[in-house]
Amino acid sequence: INAEYMGPFNRIIEVIAGSPHFDMSSEIPSIKELVLALHDIQAICFGEFTLKSGLKSPIYIDLRLIVSNPKVLQMVCTAVWHKVKDVKFDVICGVPYTALPFATVISLQQNVPMLMRRKETKSYGRGRCIEGTFNIGDTCLIIEDLVTSGLSVFETVEPLQDAKLIVKDVAVLIDRQQGGRANIEKNGLTLHSVFTVAELLEILHEEKRISADQRNSVLEFIQTSQVQIKPAEPAAAPAAEPASSTPSTPSFKRLSYADRIPLCKSAVGRQLLKIVNDKQTNLCLSADVTDAKQLLDLAASVGPHICLLKTHVDILVNFNEEFVKELVALATKHNFLIFEDRKFADIGNTCVLQYSSGLYHIADWAHITNAHPLPGPGVVQGLKTVGLPKNRGCLLIAEMSSKGNLAKGSYVEEAVKMAKEDSDFVFGFICQNRLVDDAGFLHMTPGVQLASKSDNLGQQYNTPEQVICKNGTDVIIVGRGIYEAKNPAEVAASYKEAGWKAYLTSLSS
């Protein structure tokens, strides 16, 4: 086991060895005793904090501090155990990483076998995601420290179920009451929480540790920061592949961009449709340049002609906060949206961090991002927990313009299904053809030039008329044809005119 896992375990051994009175059979602590003890060690703090999701919260609960406080660790584990001691299970598994000490202490004191989930499957040895000994069909109880949306619970449930274990129950110390219980129960699990944030607030207020304003501020935050995650659906039988590798364009009657605004369930999608209609442009510039100043100069010159500016900030050699401020100001000035072409393709929790944190803090400035459907619904649900509260939107990459790509057949069908399940956040597709008749979804096509051709790296180009009129898509994405031109603004105006002309033609056909 690597050092990342051994750290908590070593500390637990020290706790037990140094605490001769560590007895899980001791009296069950009251909720009040637990709350005050957690507040005493500063595991519960009030102020303004940025959560992993990127939201600003008036409360921060850091239960990692418990491992350094033996008495509090004992109280917490006793309370969690007594909450589920009558539940039937064969093994337990703590959600990495904060709940690992809880599960380990309970395992040691109650002689209950424990399993460990790796966040990433190792590439050596047995290559297991679930470590430990178990039998197929065993029932596993999940131990968690804190539940907000339930996403981290699902990321533990999935590999356990893949290993043929049965999961029915989740034990947690604190329920933040932000949708996690409902999400967990919609997925057929039972959540057993020791106490809720509302109970925590009442106790601290009664004990005069927080003011009424602080209590009310947190309660209001909870009510306005609910997160819904769609329940998992049983796998369907594999669909037969279509005879053609490229889906045929559905027969549909195109509505005007203006008429589609109220049909779009995404706030960002409605905003984009309004911009397209008001500016009479369905042109997106793909600004794949490596210098921040060059990108800003492009945005300033072509801004009047575009509805979207697509960026790849991870290729910029001089990205900084000042660049972001200037780009956002240009988007406001010229009335276009920023689309960061991040192509998220990891598990939900990792995507949450990539979207909200790191060097780029994408969710803070990009109106739109995109994702591959490959990881399954978790990638959308993770991004949604960050983006939806910030009025952001997402596109799914259902088809690609490169020669020999694998985004075909049932893969495209699954992308459409995922989009429909979260249409308040996912409002369209990166694709080569119109995929759905639903006018609330936008279809955006890359690889567009004024003349059809291909390059030596397999990129295939189509004309605005081809993608809008024949393929039925809505927004043309143009890159090198504009930013490599001697006069990008002049060329962008030509693409704007060609794209809009194709749209008007499609309306009358």
Catalytic positions are 343
Q: Which amino acid is at 175?
A: D
Q: Residue 21's Cα: distance from chain center in Å? A: 44
Taking the CB of residue 249, how many other CB atoms lie within 10 A of it? 15
Whether the CB-CB separation of 292 and 323 falls below 8 Å is answered with: yes
Q: Where are the alpha helices (DSSP H) in 177-284?
A: 180-186, 197-206, 212-224, 257-260, 267-279
- Say how far apart CA 454 and CA 142 lie, in whole Å: 52
- Bridge-based pairing state of the strands 368-371 and 283-286: unpaired
Provide the angle, in degrees to the nearest 10, between the axes of the packed helices 3-17 and 100-110: 50
Burial annotation 397-423 (CB, 10 A radius, 16+ → b, else e): bbbbbeeeeebbbeebbbbbebbeebb
- Bridge-based pairing state of the strands 426-430 and 91-94: unpaired
Q: Which amino acid is at 472?
A: G
DSSP 305: G
Q: Residue 312's Cα: distance from chain center in Å? A: 19
The single residue listed with the structure tokens 């605004």 is 261
The CA dihedral of 430, 436, 437, 439, to the nearest 10 degrees, is -40
Query: CB-based contacts of 90: which residues, under 8 Å, 6+ apart?
Result: 113, 134, 135, 138, 139, 140
Which long-range CB contacts under 8 A does 53-57 form with residues at least 24 apart? Answer: 53/148, 53/352, 53/356, 53/385, 53/386, 53/389, 54/355, 54/356, 54/357, 54/361, 54/363, 54/364, 54/386, 54/390, 55/225, 55/386, 55/389, 57/221, 57/225
